[in-house]
Each structure stands twice: as C-alpha cells, then as structure tokens.
C-alpha cells in the first residue's frame, strides 16, 4: 500500500515536471518570437523614417522580457539545489531590473512625445492667430 502511494506521488511529480518544462519552453519561445518580431518591425520603421521607433522598440522588448521572466519563475519549481536557486534568483533580479529600466525609458519617451505634440499644437495655434 505504502509502495503504491510512493509510486503514485513519484509519477505525479514526474508529470508536474514535464508540464512545467513545457510551459517554460512555451514562455521562452513566445518571448523570443515577440523580441524578433519587434526588432524586425522597428528596423523597418527606422529605415522608413517612421516616428516613435524608440518607444515601440522599448515596449516590445519589455513584453519579451516579461515572457522570459515568467519562464524563469516557472523554472524555480524544478530547482533541486541551493546553487541553482542562487543562479536563478540572480537571473530573475537582473531581468527584473532591466524591465524596470525599460519601463522607465518608456515613461520618459511618452512624456517627450506628449511635450512634442503640445509644442506642435502651440505652433499651429500661433500660426492661425497670426
């Protein structure tokens, strides 16, 4: 009886690990696809002199990092040793810090765009008033 319970738990743990690894790979692949799509689209926009390329690129990178961060969080489930946990924690902290910096950059870029648009409206009003 005890042996069959241990076997069932072992099987359940094995299934859990497989499901977690599939989810990790899926999150990693989505992150890579989002990043590559963002790079290609924004390279096109840059070479065609479109506006706000920097903002669009930063938003795409932030989204890709979120998927990669989700994969790292899932990876914590499969950690077996403390050294693996330390490395994984470091990766999560670094990716989190990069994500915060990118979000700060996005906020700054949006503020610059809003200021630019206000100046354009002000210039247009002055042109009409003249």
Rounded average pLDDT over 68-86: 88
| Radius of gyration for the alpha carbons in the chain, expressed in angstroms and rounded | 23
pLDDT digits (tens, 9 = 90+) for 16-70: 888 889 999 999 999 999 999 999 999 999 999 998 899 999 999 999 999 999 9
Residue with tokens 């989810």: 23
How would residue 2 be classed by pLDDT, with cut points 50, 70 and 90?
low
Mention every residue, 6+ apart, whose C-beta is less than 8 A from residue 79: 85, 88
pTM: 0.77
Rounded average pLDDT over 94-99: 90
| 30-32-33-38 Cα dihedral, nearest 10 degrees | 120
């Amino acid at each position: 009886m005890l042996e069959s319970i241990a076997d069932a738990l072992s099987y359940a743990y094995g299934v859990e690990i497989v499901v977690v690894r599939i989810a990790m790979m899926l999150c990693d692949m989505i992150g890579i696809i989002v990043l590559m799509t963002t790079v290609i689209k924004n390279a096109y926009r840059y070479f065609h002199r479109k506006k706000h390329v920097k903002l669009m690129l930063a938003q795409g990178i932030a989204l890709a990092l979120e998927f990669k961060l989700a994969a790292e969080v899932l990876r914590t489930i499969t950690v077996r040793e403390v050294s693996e946990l330390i490395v994984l924690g470091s990766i999560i902290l670094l990716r989190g810090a990069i994500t915060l910096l990118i979000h700060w950059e996005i906020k700054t870029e949006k503020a610059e765009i809003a200021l630019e648009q206000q100046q354009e409206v002000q210039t247009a009003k002055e042109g009409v008033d003249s």
